[in-house]
Structure 1
Amino acid sequence: MSHELQKPVVGFTCGDLNGIGIELIIKSLADGRITEFCVPVIFASNKSINFYRKVVPDINFSYQAVKDFSRLNPKQINVFNCWEEEVQITPGQLNDIGGKYALLSLQQGVQALKEGNIQALVTAPIHKKNIQSEAFNYSGHTPYLKAVFEVSDVVMLMVAENMRVALLTEHVPVSEIAQYVTKANILSKLKILHASLQKDFGVDKPKIAVLGLNPHAGDEGLIGNEEETIIKPAVKEAKQQNMLVFGPYSADAFFARGHYEKFDAVLAMYHDQGLIPFKSLAIGEGVNYTAGLPAIRTSPDHGTAFDIAGKGKADHNSFIEATYKAIDIAHMRLGYAEMRRNPLRKMSNMIVANAQDEVIKEDAE
């Protein structure tokens, strides 16, 4: 197999057409070195790319248009035209056009992912309101991908250099969180997280911390009983299934005292419990990874940023980190599959992330 064919084909959805998605893609892929590591495919249209190329005129961005995956140029950026019609782009405005074409791009990208035409997908931010339709009745990318790939469960996993935070519940109203805190749900998330840490991040024996739902992790039942009746039994059963799972921990002290540094991942009970400390303490740029899918999907850890859309001000660091994380995981999965076929063979294609995770694991022990 040639070197060119070994590079993963990575797809990019444009997100809300009036948001910062295409600007992020252009800025991230403009560095010619990106084609040394992957074959980029943007799911949008030539006209939409050209519109935002004018927003960042100081960047030299070239591409080739394709309609057939067999004609991808491995040394160039490829634009897969998802629509041909003229579309009125109005940066910063929340309207039906932005949502309609965000969904069209997403549908084409996911189809390519399912059919194996691309090995990973990086999704630009959508607006959860204007993308709603008969074809998209979900609270975000994660539940949509779960449904499309027909898997029983997935995990929203936030990844940074120094921490990984998974969520038991995602975009759920605070008043409804407790009803999702069940032993079955916790065990499901832990199994997916454990498997992903091994297969996608190269952690041989992952250590996972579980946070409590209530203040002070319930204070032995004085402030709620979910820890005693649900979370502790789930942790116990996970240990019986040969997973290194610990907790529940009081969320405030756990992050304030740096205990997260001793674990390979943390399972938080709800969105803000995990995302606030992640965005406050993460070193480097955060990436959102959907664990539990048969395919690879990453995204930046921010939204559409309508307030700066079309102004050339968007910071692309999280997006480019999401791109490289997708490439890393693609290589990691290849190495993991090879290891399972032949555990005695040295996995020469394992990337530096594997060694870094081993250091984290040894420090935790």
Structure 2
Amino acid sequence: MSNETQKPVIGFTCGDINGIGLELIIKTLMDQRILDFCVPVVFANNKCLNFYRKSIPDSNFNCTNINQFSRLNPKQVNIYSVWEEEVTITPGELNETGGKYALKSLEEATKALQEGHIHGLVTAPIHKKNIQSEDFKYSGHTPYFKTFFNVKDVVMFMVAENMRVGLVTEHVTVEEVSKHITKESILSKLQIMQQSLQKDFGIDKPKIAVLGLNPHAGDEGLIGKEEIEIIKPAIKEAKNKALVFGPYSADAFFARGMHEKFDAVLAMYHDQGLIPFKSLAIGEGVNYTAGLPAVRTSPDHGTAFDIAGKGKADHTSFLAATFECINIIHNRMGHADRNRNPLRKISARMLANAVDERIEENEG
């Protein structure tokens, strides 16, 4: 990172070009204050961005096209041209084109992240079905990055101002969940979460709560044995190195506000963690891949084909993902003094409201 600017270079993938990804990028980056905090690089194509700019009546999206990172402009949004050919965009349609160019953007951006041309990456939503190919046989971004960076394990870590939730299993069918709940997997996830809370979020002695798998955390073995045979032994062993507590009954845990007493929560499966997270994260939820050597964040939602191309997408979560990416980079570099961090003076929601007001003024 340049000593002159101290601004990290943040990459943005376009996601499915028929979804809301490019609209989210435009709405996030057209507020000039973003340039005070980072140097944005969008891995896409200028013509695709122009297609979606038409539905967003604002003239303050200043960008420059580059084909090499030595020509980055710190005062504008940089568009790194991943493809030159004409692409037919059909907002709201699930087709091969959307997946093909989402993968092109992702591959180029991930390569740039690995090589150090960018310091962090914010990924726009992909559709898990149409991106499948010989080069992408994953259930989502998280396993893709795990494989690309060749790490033993990662955690899908959902973070917001008021809560953090990690998952033992991610995109696994309910039928298969219990097969993946092992003492080893729980210990691995807890170790990654603890290290991330310390290194990425600046919490010296994090407290982590662990949820049970079964209703009422098994009711002492009456409703399932996983808590007694797997989860409790894992917690007991983890306590040798971390402040870990549980297992807690998932239904009562969030309803009683118990998540507020911990720095993070480890849920056993996708919906157990994400339903309360999305309900309580006040629209600013971020998906962070903990355990990678690099920093990757994303919004906590999907492609939203139903509103694609209509200028209706709410970019609050995408803006929060951008801020979180920058904050984690600074924390990793030792810039963890949050009282001096200007990002904390402008919240994601404040910037989102400011952009929305500008759009309404132009429409009026």
Equivalent residues of 1:9, 1:38 under 8 A apart: yes
Equivalent position of 2:233 in the other structure: 233
- Separation of aligned partners in 1, 2:339 and 2:213: 40
- Separation of aligned partners in 2, 1:222 and 1:348: 47
Equivalent residues of 1:14, 1:22 under 8 A apart: yes
- Separation of aligned partners in 1, 2:28 and 2:149: 28
Q: What SS does the aligned partner of 2:326 have?
A: helix
When residues 4 and 306 of structure 1 are mapped into structure 2, their CA distance, relative to the original with a 3 A threshold, is farther
Equivalent position of 1:319 in the other structure: 318
Equivalent residues of 2:132, 2:138 under 8 A apart: yes
Equivalent residues of 1:298, 1:326 under 8 A apart: yes
Report the alpha carbon displacement of residue 49 of structure 1 after superposing the two structures with TM.
1.1
Equivalent position of 2:200 in the other structure: 200
Equivalent position of 2:61 in the other structure: 61
Stretches of structure 2 lacking an aligned partner (at least 5 in a row) = 345-364
Equivalent position of 1:164 in the other structure: 164
Under a length normalisation based on structure 1, what TM-score does the superposition of the two structures give? Answer: 0.91
Equivalent position of 2:47 in the other structure: 47
Q: What SS does the aligned partner of 1:64 have?
A: strand
Report the alpha carbon displacement of residue 350 of structure 1 after superposing the two structures with TM.
6.9
Under a length normalisation based on structure 2, what TM-score does the superposition of the two structures give? Answer: 0.92
Query: What per-residue deviation string (whole Å, max 9, x for no partner) do you get for residues 164-193 of structure 1?
Result: 010000000000000000000000000000
Equivalent residues of 1:123, 1:297 under 8 A apart: yes
Report the alpha carbon displacement of residue 353 of structure 1 after superposing the two structures with TM.
8.6
Q: Does 1:288 align with 2:287?
A: yes
Equivalent residues of 1:335, 1:350 under 8 A apart: no
- Separation of aligned partners in 1, 2:319 and 2:252: 32
Q: What SS does the aligned partner of 1:93 have?
A: coil
Query: What per-residue deviation string (whole Å, max 9, x for no partner) do you get for residues 252-283 of structure 1?
Result: 11111111100000000000100111111223
Give the 5 Å matches for 1:177-196.
177-196=177-196
Q: What SS does the aligned partner of 2:94 have?
A: coil
Report the alpha carbon displacement of residue 284 of structure 1 after superposing the two structures with TM.
4.6
Equivalent position of 1:259 in the other structure: 258
- Separation of aligned partners in 2, 1:350 and 1:148: 35
When residues 129 and 215 of structure 1 are mapped into structure 2, their CA distance, relative to the original with a 3 A threshold, is same
Report the alpha carbon displacement of residue 2 of structure 1 after superposing the two structures with TM.
5.8
Equivalent residues of 2:72, 2:78 under 8 A apart: yes
Equivalent position of 1:85 in the other structure: 85
Equivalent position of 1:268 in the other structure: 267
Q: What SS does the aligned partner of 2:12 have?
A: strand
Report the alpha carbon displacement of residue 33 of structure 1 after superposing the two structures with TM.
0.7
When residues 199 and 237 of structure 1 are mapped into structure 2, their CA distance, relative to the original with a 3 A threshold, is same
Amino acid aligned to 1:188:
S
Equivalent residues of 1:168, 1:270 under 8 A apart: yes
Equivalent residues of 2:211, 2:250 under 8 A apart: yes
Equivalent position of 1:26 in the other structure: 26
Q: What SS does the aligned partner of 2:100 have?
A: helix
When residues 85 and 136 of structure 1 are mapped into structure 2, their CA distance, relative to the original with a 3 A threshold, is same
Give RMSD over aligned pairs.
1.7
Report the alpha carbon displacement of residue 54 of structure 1 after superposing the two structures with TM.
1.1
- Separation of aligned partners in 2, 1:230 and 1:210: 12
Amino acid aligned to 1:248:
P
- Separation of aligned partners in 2, 1:2 and 1:283: 35
When residues 250 and 59 of structure 1 are mapped into structure 2, their CA distance, relative to the original with a 3 A threshold, is farther
Q: What SS does the aligned partner of 1:40 have?
A: strand
- Separation of aligned partners in 2, 1:352 and 1:33: 11
Equivalent position of 1:149 in the other structure: 149
Amino acid aligned to 1:128:
K
- Separation of aligned partners in 2, 1:189 and 1:2: 34
Equivalent residues of 1:335, 1:349 under 8 A apart: no
When residues 353 and 245 of structure 1 are mapped into structure 2, their CA distance, relative to the original with a 3 A threshold, is farther
Amino acid aligned to 1:275:
L
Give the 5 Å matches for 1:73-152.
73-152=73-152
When residues 284 and 315 of structure 1 are mapped into structure 2, their CA distance, relative to the original with a 3 A threshold, is closer
Query: What per-residue deviation string (whole Å, max 9, x for no partner) do you get for residues 148-207 of structure 1?
Result: 000000000111111001000000000000000000000000000000000000000000
When residues 136 and 38 of structure 1 are mapped into structure 2, their CA distance, relative to the original with a 3 A threshold, is same
Q: What SS does the aligned partner of 2:334 have?
A: helix
- Separation of aligned partners in 1, 2:270 and 2:66: 39
- Separation of aligned partners in 2, 1:256 and 1:92: 36
Equivalent residues of 1:201, 1:353 under 8 A apart: no
Equivalent position of 2:15 in the other structure: 15
Report the alpha carbon displacement of residue 351 of structure 1 after superposing the two structures with TM.
3.6
Amino acid aligned to 1:220:
E
Equivalent residues of 2:220, 2:228 under 8 A apart: yes
- Separation of aligned partners in 1, 2:51 and 2:192: 41
- Separation of aligned partners in 2, 1:180 and 1:37: 40
- Separation of aligned partners in 1, 2:176 and 2:338: 47
- Separation of aligned partners in 1, 2:187 and 2:214: 19
Equivalent position of 1:244 in the other structure: 243
